Amino acid sequence: MYGLVNEAVRNLVITNAGEDTWNQIRTKAGVEVESFSRMDQYPDDLTYRLVGAASEVLGAPADAIMEQFGEFWIRYTGREGYGHLFDIAGNSFRDFLFNLDALHTRVGDNFKDLRPPSFKCEDVNEQTIRMHYLTERPGLCPMVLGLLRGLADHFETEVFVEHPVCSRTGGEHCEFLLTMPHANR
Ligand code: HEM
């Protein structure tokens, strides 16, 4: 993945736990560099190792770390030069969800070798959306839960998230059911 992702992990750890803890985590993960170049690509494995090492050093489940990271990613990208993409991808939580693929297509204008996930949304009823999460990378669904929480926060929208189908437990891909009790689309 692009270094932007690993940089965000580094930023989150340093903000919450300090520089020494970050150095412990990256050493445990076998990462020799202290920071990452945002526009360079790194093996996906490095990011997974960082999550695993963070889990050990911080004594927190890897899923909880990924979820926290997802929530952080919304704030991080918003303030690190990608806020305009949030503005054009939709004015509401719902519109934004339907535009996620278009958002990553725009991201790909700058990150030429981006291998983004894909999110296919369908309306179940007035209040509920089913979202299909398609990716070549296994096991990142807790990050999606955090991303959804961060986005709901960004749009000040109350949302209840269910995860009825998961690729980790035999599902072909993960599906999320998002219920917005106050939605009026
Ligand atoms: C302007 C904001 C955003 C930027 C700049 C951005 C950029 C990126 C980048 C660079 C990657 C790494 C992919 C690679 O290197 O091949 C990525 C992955 C990912 N993005 Fe975004 N993204 C943004 C917003 C979002 C939002 C709002 C979601 C919400 C669902 C999202 C979901 C993901 C997920 C789940 C991944 C992990 C990779 C995977 O699942 O295969 N992104 N994004």
- 76, β-bridge pairs: none
User: What are the structure tokens assigned to 36, written together?
Assistant: 């990452």
SS3 content of the chain, % helix, strand, coil (to 5): 55, 15, 30
- Walk along the chain (185 residues) and give the pLDDT tens digit of each residue: 999 999 999 999 999 999 999 999 999 999 999 999 999 999 999 999 999 999 999 999 999 999 999 999 999 999 999 999 998 899 999 999 999 999 999 999 999 999 999 999 999 999 999 999 999 999 999 999 999 999 999 999 999 999 999 999 999 999 999 999 998 66
> Is-above-0.75 flag for pTM?
yes
Alpha-carbon distance values, 177 to 1, 48, 87, 98, 132 (Å): 27, 26, 24, 14, 9
The answer to whether the CB of 82 is under 6 A from ligand 1 is yes
Q: What is the pLDDT of residue 160?
A: 98
Q: E-strand spans in 62-182?
A: 118-123, 128-134, 160-165, 174-179
Q: What is the pLDDT of residue 139?
A: 98
CA 33 – ligand 1 centroid, Å? 23
The answer to whether the CB of 52 is under 6 A from ligand 1 is no
Q: How far is Cα 26 from Cα 97, in angstroms, rounded to an integer?
A: 33
Q: Name the residue of 73, 110, 132, 166 whose CB sits within 8 Å of the most ligand 1 atoms, as the mutation to test its pocket.
A: 73
The answer to whether the CB of 174 is under 6 A from ligand 1 is no
Return the residue whose CA atom lies nearest to atom 11 of ligand 1.
Answer: 116
The answer to whether the CB of 168 is under 6 A from ligand 1 is no
